[in-house]
Amino acid sequence: IWCPPGSYLRGHVSRANTVILTEGFYLGKYEVTKEQYRSVMGVKLSSFLSFFKGAKLPVEQVSWEDAMAFCKKLNEKEKNRIPEGWAFTLPTESQWEYACRAGTRTAYSWGNEIDSSRANYNWENRQDSTQSCDVGQYAANPWGFYDMHGNVSEWCSDWNSEEYFTGPVTNPAGPSSGTQKIIRGASAYFQDLKASGRWYENTSDNHDSHGLRVALKLENPKIPKYEPDVF
């Protein structure tokens, strides 16, 4: 789905935390599924390791390194279809939150309250029965994205920074180095699924709550822009 340039109030929705994004980008309508991951990575069903089974389930037990390897492989497979300067990769956490909020200023994209009809999450401390579900089972947010809250948490490209909430910024991409990468969206195991929620893990961590959603972005600002219907 095309996300046009724009701005939003990040984190706790303070005007002091205005984020401006001057470049539009595409973001996956759904979380990457197990069948998509297998198709791109060439992993056979019998040898594919994951905690839950089901082709339409979001892929999980994926580390940040695995997620980037998936994007690299996808770029190789689609190199003859992607316009020059564009590439599949992970979204920045600001791009992720921009798409998650979809023009809203509430705790969730649908409002400030949450219940089990809104998202797949641990709503009754049901830890023993909690698991991911097929993508797209809950209503989409105002921009058409599914499962931005819950199901599996999603890796972002940024290194973790404690300065995330300090002042207005334009096109933030996190620090140039670090030890842990940002994860957004929470998962079926969590109760706190707010759009402002953020976590971080080591790049090699691959828990059964970790998945991904792919972005398609213009990586070279000198390349001419394309209209969103070009693909």
What string of H, E and C letters represents the secondary structure of 71-129? HHHHHHHCCCCCCCCEEEECCCHHHHHHHHHCCCCCCECCECCCCCCCCCCCCCCCHHH
SS3 category, 20: strand
Looking at residue 230, what is its pLDDT? 45
The per-residue pLDDT for range 136-163, each reduced to its tens digit, is 999 999 999 999 999 999 999 999 987 7
Q: Are 31 and 152 in contact (CB under 8 A)?
A: yes
Looking at residue 124, what is its pLDDT? 67
Looking at residue 29, what is its pLDDT? 98
According to DSSP, the β-strands at 210-211 and 153-159 are parallel
Give the residues of the chain that fall short of pLDDT 50. 45-48, 224, 230-231
Looking at residue 125, what is its pLDDT? 60
Looking at residue 225, what is its pLDDT? 54
Looking at residue 16, what is its pLDDT? 66
Q: Which of 66, 73, 68 is nearest to 39 (CA)?
A: 73
| % of the chain with per-residue pLDDT over 90 | 72
Q: pTM of the predicted model, to two decimals?
A: 0.90
Angstrom distance (rounded) from CA 134 to CA 125: 21
* Burial tier of 55 (Cβ tally within 10 Å: 0-12, 13-18, 19+): exposed
Looking at residue 217, what is its pLDDT? 96
Angstrom distance (rounded) from CA 3 to CA 27: 7
Looking at residue 48, what is its pLDDT? 47
